[in-house]
Chains A and B, each alone.
Chain A
């Protein structure tokens, strides 16, 4: 097997350009532009608060809209980033087949593009937290830690799934269906059910949701076991995803 050709370009500059490209393409022809990133979580937060907080009368949880947002934001990011990451190689066929560029940047840039929405939703989160008189504490310093682990986990999934999607195009639909199921299996609008802990223990999305609530609402550091599980999930997923990508990337050309 020949050694892959060295590219030797400016990687941060390239990623920045690819993210900008995604961003511009998505919003250029929309009248509300970036506001769409805010409207979706606000509407979801409102609907879930109405249904579960009032209709089903689950009023025991304090700061319920913030509680929901702590679940929605990690979930939205996961669903969006993994799906766009999965389809990224196939959708950028013109780039992968015709432009000399390291292929890894394609799914990585696609995940990073979702960080723009994430940033906007974070502003919303802070605003809602202040509204409920839950100002930043020193525990907020945990946020970059758990989110970094989460990002690594998502990068791993996106790398692996984008490579597999080239050969098995059904992957995209598997991911879509999985996201749908995941919405119910992540404690977005309910508290972590200790009785069924096994369903959630190995779910990094659920882990992040719980960590977010620990940090923002309960004002304490996430449990050590939870952080440990996230470290394991991030390491295993990234290693596996990068390995799959590495193995399959030389065959992309023939299959897209």
Chain B
């Protein structure tokens, strides 16, 4: 069974996002053609079977993060169909959903509630989450005193303890130290053995080959190639060296 399906998904963003002045809005109304959209993902199709890991690679701005956001349901595609089976937990940005003035413990509870745990589940798993994160000594300190590594440990610990069916990770895992990294890997392997699915965007070929069976290479919003992780990573790496070599020649 597929845990995650993307079927001809296309996504674009409006040209000037964010807050806009009244005068710009009026200009747009009078010249509708100027209000163009930027295509970020174009006709993306793939599916990830349960228990599988899919890695996304590609240069900055290729659309990896946008794809992860769509998978999480944080934004909606322009067209196409996205199907996700089960509960999704996301680690998209370091400290997202955390507040710097609250203590580690308070942040853990809020985050657990947001991911969908009940009061009882949160109470039951609280100890385990703190234990796994390894930041017990600082758990009653405000989060602003944490290093990014500590924050990541806590966020990761919450994400894996909420028992998600699909775990979506965007790069953040890189800030942990070796010991924690090993712990994360072990945990995620167990995770996959239980039939859970991982969707990961990273520039680390090492991490990807350890966690993912398949990979998807994105460039400027299109799938360049996809398939078994080693093959895609090889192809990506050789294209990188080619373009690097070309840059050297040009210089």
Contacts and interface: CB of A to CB of B under 8 A. Distances in A.
B73 A5 contact: yes
B113 A2 contact: no
Given A8-B87, A21-B110, A94-B96, A253 B102 contact: no
B244 to A, nearest CB: 33
Interface string A217-250: 0000000000000000000000000000000001
A28 B101 contact: yes
Q: Number of contact residues on A: which range applies?
A: 20 to 34
A220 B73 CA distance: 52
A13 B113 contact: yes
Contacts of A21: 99, 102, 106, 110
A13 B119 contact: yes
Nearest to B122: A13
A13 to B, nearest CB: 5
B234 to A, nearest CB: 33
Interface string A66-106: 00000000000000000000000000001101111100000
Contacts of A99: 90, 96-97, 111, 114-115
Contacts of B109: 17
A100 B115 contact: yes
Contacts of A29: 101
Contact of B110 (A4, A17, A170): A17
B119 A10 contact: yes
Interface in B104-148: 106, 109-111, 113-119, 122
Nearest to B107: A21
Interface stretch (B77-85, B178-186, B190-198, B221-229): B77-85
B13 interface: yes
A29 B142 CA distance: 12
Contact of B77 (A2, A18, A24, A168): A2
A9 interface: yes
A100 B76 contact: no
B96 A98 contact: yes
A198 interface: no
A24 B92 contact: no
A10 B118 contact: yes
Given A100-B88, A100-B89, 18 more contacts: A2-B77, A5-B73, A9-B114, A13-B113, A14-B114, A16-B113, A17-B114, A21-B102, A97-B69, A98-B74, A98-B90, A100-B114, A168-B19, A169-B19, A253-B75, A254-B17, A255-B18, A256-B18
Interface of B: 13-14, 17-19, 22, 69, 72-77, 81-82, 84, 87-90, 92-93, 96-97, 99, 101-102, 106, 109-111, 113-119, 122
Interface of A: 1-2, 4-5, 7-10, 13-14, 16-18, 20-21, 24-25, 28-29, 94-95, 97-101, 168-170, 250, 253-256
9 contacts: A2-B81, A9-B114, A10-B116, A13-B119, A25-B99, A25-B102, A99-B97, A100-B88, A170-B22
